[in-house]
Amino acid sequence: MGFLNIFKKKEQQISTYNEFWSWFQSEEKAFYKVIEQGGNFERDFFDKLSPKLDQLRDGYYYLAGMFDEKTAELIITADGSPKNIPFVEDLIESAPNIENWRFTALKPESDIEDVAIKMDGHEFNADNMSFYAVTHEQYPDEIDIVITHKDFTEENHSILVKGTYIFLDNYLGELNFAVSIDTLTVSSPSDAQQELIPIQKLKEYLIWREKEFIEKYEATYYNSGNDIYSSLKAKMNSGNPMFAVVNSSLLEWNAKPSHPWIVDIDFVYVGSNGMPDKLTYKKLDEFEDELMNVISDSDGFLNIGRQTADNHRNIYFACKEFRKTSRAIEEMLTKFDSSLNGSYHIYKDKYWQSFNRFIPALN
């Protein structure tokens, strides 16, 4: 008598890079066929790839196509998020050599002649785009770029901005776009405040500014040994109290751009009047102490302070680069996952303007 097998084969769970690539190797011939023959990418490739990447961590995005006649390429991207970039790079670095496959971390840069984006009836290319740089006397190291597009109007503003970002992602490359421009505005050529520069000269301009920046700040070091911390108290719009401890010595430092990346670690908790209970306080302090033992100012990692209010504890740091920082924080959040509900955000703020709210209270 035969029996009907009603039990599905247990899906392989992915928790390490090696496990991911082992799974990929078991599927790569089918994936290659889909790409080579122009099959149904979503159904036969991406719908299988996406859950496996999600099992590793959030923040992996992907593109695929034929690199040449015989080589399929899988590009893993971070969608421009600095905190995701090191994990994309780590995943690709761990990739095995697989015949007829090429694996790339982050969208690569392209020659201007090879970049022509079409979106909602608009084209984005060297013929209809230009740029100029805005300088700020108070913030001389800020890279503030205005991109102009000949089709720009207030009505199509959102489409033109989205298309411009995609264009720059492909032209500059994902990493360069994420790290080289501080402020970006899209407008009409008729609104330009300066002489327009051909968009193909943007790379050259950004390389020059980056070289200038490195020469100015490369040797900059901050010694936190004598720092003074100030306690601040205020009332939130909710009526709940706000308590903050900020590094007043550091906020007066005149070389802030040397540490342009800001880390905001956000813990959400249940408490009374927006404040955590004693056990949560203890765990939050343990997290911060342990993190500071892992990364210090000698690694280009500076403790700006923390704020506690409205059921959130935010811990703020500035750092020279985001890769080691992101890896360390991710590891710590995983370690404390059973006792704390935390997440983090990394963004660029060369002059730490997001902390200007604390300055009046320190004076």
Q: Are residues 347 and 269 in the same domain?
A: yes
Give the containing element (helix H, strand E) for 64: strand 61-66
pLDDT at residue number 3:
41
pLDDT tens profile 126-147 = 999 999 999 999 999 999 999 9
100/119 same-domain check: no
Distance (Å, whole) CA 284 – CA 339? 9
Among candidate residues 67, 83, 105, the one where a domain is terminated: 105
Same domain, 238 and 208: no
Domain count, the chain: 3
Which tens digit of pLDDT belongs to each residue from 302-339? 999 999 999 999 999 999 999 999 999 999 999 999 99
Residues 165 and 267 grouped into a single domain? no
Quick check: 7 pLDDT over 60?
Answer: no
Q: pLDDT-derived band of residue 11, with 50, 70 and 90 as boundaries?
A: low
Based on the fold, state whether residues 160 and 81 are members of the same structural domain.
no
The per-residue pLDDT for 13 is: 85
1 within some domain? no
HEC string of 83-147?
CCHHHHHHHHHCCCCCCCEEEEECCCCCCHHHCCEEECCEEECCCCEEEEEECCCCCCCCCEEEE
Q: Is residue 229 part of a domain?
A: yes
Residue 5 lies in a domain: no
Measuring CA to CA, how many Å separate 165 from each of 49, 106, 113, 268? 26, 15, 17, 32
The predicted pLDDT at position 344 comes to 97
The per-residue pLDDT for 224 is: 86
- Same domain? For 304 and 259 the reply is yes
In 173-277, which ranges are continuous DSSP H helix? Answer: 174-180, 202-217, 248-251
| Tokens read off for 270 | 């249940």
169 and 295 assigned to the same domain: no
Query: What gap in Å lies between CA 114 and CA 203, rounded to an integer?
Result: 15
For residue 244, give the 3-state DSSP assignment: strand
> Considering 187, 217, 247, which residue would you say is the last residue of a domain?
217
- C-alpha dihedral sign at 240, 245, 249, 255: negative
Q: Say yes or no: 85 and 46 in one domain.
A: yes
Under a CB-based contact definition with an 8 Å cutoff, are residues 243 and 274 in contact? Answer: no
Percent of the chain with pLDDT over 70: 96
Based on the fold, state whether residues 297 and 237 are members of the same structural domain.
Answer: yes
| Contact by Cβ (8 Å): 49, 7 | no
Q: Is residue 354 part of a domain?
A: yes
Joined tokens for residue 128: 């209809």
Instruction: Give dist(CA 163, CA 160) in Å, integer.
Output: 5
| pTM for the model | 0.91
Residue 169 CA, distance from chain mean position? 13
Domain residue limits at 122: 112-217
Could you tell me the pLDDT band of residue 116, with boundaries at 50, 70 and 90?
confident
The reply to whether 242 and 207 lie within a common domain is: no
d(CA 157, CA 326) in angstroms, rounded, equals 33
337 belongs to a structural domain: yes
**Whether the Cβ atoms of residue 72 and residue 30 lie closer than 8 Å to each other:** no
Residue 39 lies in a domain: yes
CATH of the domain at 290: 3.30.70.260
Among the residue ranges 55-59, 87-91, 294-298, the one predicted with the least confidence is: 294-298
Boundary residue ending a domain (76, 105, 134)? 105
Is 8 part of a structural domain of the chain?
no
**Measured between alpha carbons, how far is 185 from 55 in angstroms, rounded to an integer?**
36
Nearest CA-CA partner of 213 in 235, 182, 238, 244: 182
| pLDDT category of residue 121 using cuts at 50, 70 and 90 | very high
Q: Is the pLDDT of residue 37 over 80?
A: yes
| Judgement on whether residues 146 and 171 belong to the same structural domain of the protein | yes
In terms of domains, do 342 and 270 share one? yes
Q: Is the pLDDT of residue 8 over 50?
A: no
Residues 266-281 have a mean pLDDT of 95
Q: How many CA atoms lie within 13 A of 137 on its CB side?
A: 0
Does residue 7 sit within a domain? no
When the pLDDT of each residue in the chain is averaged and rounded to a whole number, the result is 93
pLDDT: which is higher, 66 or 11: 66
Identify the weakest region by mean pLDDT among 31-40, 155-164, 170-179, 298-307. Answer: 298-307
What is the identity of the amino acid at 72? A
237-246 pLDDT, tens digit per residue, is 999 999 999 9
